[in-house]
A and B are shown apart, each in its own frame.
Chain A
Amino acid sequence: MIRPWRFVMSKSPLLAHASGQQVVLQLDQINKIFNADTPLKNHVLHDISLQVSRGELVALVGTSGSGKSTLLNVMGLLDVASAGELRIQGHLVQGLTEQQRTQLRSESIGFVFQFHHLISAFSVLDNVLMPLMLRYGKPSPEQIAYAEYLLGEVGLTKFIHESTNRISGGQQQRVAIARALVTRPALVLADEPTGNLDTQSADEVFNLFERFNVEHQCAIVIVTHDPRLSSRCPRTIRLTDGRVVYDGASRDLPSLFASPL
């Protein structure tokens, strides 16, 4: 019998030392400035310093325009910080080539976006397998079994060969979660994953995040506007005008959520 979670995920030399790392994400004095040398200069992130450890579930909250998505992009290596140091699994990101950043991203980070962002030309199963296929080529039977297992875990076994256009928004978001986890990343970044869902679907999706956070021991950072969901995360980081104004236990933050986000 195949034990799907036992297939080997090779690590690049970049992460050769990372297996024992508890701190998955470390930001030190991160700044992000758009159009730095022009009159349209926009200083979005100011001296952000924080760290996220393995197994943490963190809510990243703040008003619109506070810099949440930009911070998430910098954390996810989709964007480059203007200043400061960023470490993924202990590896300093600054100075890496584009190819090395891509490699580090594919090995360490999983993404879930607000609009699920599945590729409609592929089936549900192929979408989940996509990060593995981009990295290894043709998937092995173990990898396929693992993707099927994840789809089973998110309750989509009977849709695995369907086109992504034929399933509901909540189901699409669950496919996106399975896709984010298929590489068994140390860090999952979710940008308002429930923003487009009804309350019931949002709860179901969030339940999955909580479950995988415990089962897979991956760190999860979720950007959300929903105070009900962010309060379910043990830790909350609140951004205001590109600055961290709170970083601590969610339960100690009731007054802040009273104000509009």
Chain B
Amino acid sequence: MSFVSQIVGLRHSLWIEWRIALRFLADNPLQTLLISVAISVGAAVIVFITALMMGLQNNVIERTLGTQAHIRIEATQQHNNFSATPEDTYVWALESPRAQRLQTINNWQEVRDALDHYPGLHTVSPLISGPAFAQKGNARASVALMGIDPARYAGIIQLKDYLVEGRFSVGASDVMIGSKLAEDLGLRTGDKLRLDAGDNRQAIMDVAGVFELGVRELDSRYVYTDLKQAQTLLNLPGGITILELKISDVFTAEYWAQRIEQLTDLHVQSWMESNGQLLNALRSQTMTTQMIRVFVAMSVIFGIASVLAVSVVQRTREIGILRAMGSSQQQILRVFLLQGGLLGLCGSLLGVMVGYVLVQVFNGIDERLFVIRLEPSMLLSAILIATASGVIAAMVPARRAAQYDPAVAIRYV
């Protein structure tokens, strides 16, 4: 039999198999309704838990990484060089580590331009960062002086979004300071602030704006100015200390960090390395979500399987009749596989709707909580997985039905 005629035959055969599967399900409406509700509850739990966990993770990532770069590139740290020792000789050395002074990334413009060409790298922003004192009258505070390229830095932290006072400006004489620092030094927009980076490198700046990133350490120490002013104060003319990067997929940060390190031979650190505990928490959360999904899916699969197993026993005689009337084993097999798939499909459609409602209810509870976003692809995958699970669940009872001896099945009472 040719392949085409086999396909045509299967199409004809599926027509009656669909009808039998639908009639068998409709013939026992209570049983069908109960298992559909059970499947829909499972599907709703999977949809809601997945969406909730994704929303929670996105929120944590957004809050944590919203105020920091995904990848930081720094100049290689200074270290002691040792002279080569002869073979088979052991040398014990007492090493005094070298003090790490501020140093620029060599050829940072070339590195920046090279990284600009990678599509996976969202933003490459130069930064010069070093210690300084901020002073107003007799009040003094140690600060981190951050010289930025405002246009590029907007891709790392959108400072405008965090402004609580004034305007965003980091010109030659303008600085932006954190809200805690402003509070500590009694500063307001328009006030003067003296910055002292040591060795008589001082500048009097205007406070153009006050921001609040929501991280106490940053709000009490960060002072933003432009690159040139910071380079002058920190005595690194033309230099920068850090290249900050944001990437499209935050979970590929480590891959990019290693790749950039190999490319530039600079010291590269991803957020995954510097926030190990956060990463562990996210991974544990993902694993927990997966386990919940697997267990719920298993209970749905076993639910469908048990209902179909009962249905196969209930319909033993009808299966025997169908076999006597000329249905093949494959037709009987497909009738029950279709029933499993139909139950999975209908149950999951209902479940997705319930899950959607649950998510809307959650989003409406308190606006200060994070917002759960439901991706259409997630809903579609839930339906597809539930339908496939239904077919898988039906395999054992369907095989059993197909293997019934028609002579015995017909006599079944």
Does chain A bind chain B? yes
Q: Which residues of A contact B (CB under 8 A)?
A: 73, 76, 78-79, 98-99, 102-103, 105-107, 111, 113, 117-122, 130-131, 133-138, 179, 183
Number of A-B contacts defined by CB within 8 Å? 75
Contact (Cβ within 8 A) B15 A117 = no
Given contacts A98-B329, A121-B23, A134-B327, contact A78 B407 (CB under 8 A): yes
Known pairs A117-B320, A179-B325. 19 more at Cβ < 8 A?
Answer: A78-B407, A99-B328, A99-B329, A102-B329, A103-B328, A106-B326, A111-B324, A117-B321, A119-B321, A121-B26, A121-B318, A122-B23, A130-B322, A130-B325, A133-B16, A137-B13, A137-B14, A138-B12, A183-B326
Contact (Cβ within 8 A) B12 A137 = yes
B142 to chain A, nearest CB (A): 82
Does B123 reach chain A (CB closer than 8 Å)?
no
Contact (Cβ within 8 A) A134 B16 = yes
* Cα(A235)–Cα(B20), bound, Å: 39
A121 touches which one: B14, B27, B329 (CB < 8 A)? Answer: B27
Q: DSSP class of B's interface residues: helix, strand, loop or mixed? A: helix
Type the 1/0 row for B1-20, where 1 means its CB is closer than 8 Å to any CB of A: 00000000001111110011
A113 touches which one: B26, B318, B326, B410 (CB < 8 A)? Answer: B410
* Cα(A79)–Cα(B406), bound, Å: 8
Count B-side interface residues using an 8 Å CB cutoff: 29
Q: B13 to chain A: which residues have CB within 8 Å?
A: 134, 137
A-B contact pairs, 12 of them (CB 8 A): A78-B410, A98-B328, A102-B328, A117-B410, A119-B318, A120-B27, A121-B20, A121-B27, A131-B325, A136-B12, A137-B14, A138-B15
Contact (Cβ within 8 A) B317 A105 = no
Type the 1/0 row for B309-346, where 1 means its CB is closer than 8 Å to any CB of A: 00000000110111111111101000000000000000
Q: Which 9 A-B pairs have the closest CB atoms?
A: A106-B326, A137-B12, A121-B23, A121-B27, A78-B407, A137-B15, A133-B16, A73-B407, A131-B325
Does B162 reach chain A (CB closer than 8 Å)?
no
Does B302 reach chain A (CB closer than 8 Å)?
no
B3 to chain A, nearest CB (A): 17
Q: Nearest A residue to B327 by beta-carbon distance?
A: A134
Contact (Cβ within 8 A) A121 B24 = yes
* Cα(A138)–Cα(B15), bound, Å: 6
* Cα(A76)–Cα(B322), bound, Å: 14
Q: A122 to chain B: which residues have CB within 8 Å?
A: 23
Contact (Cβ within 8 A) B326 A135 = yes
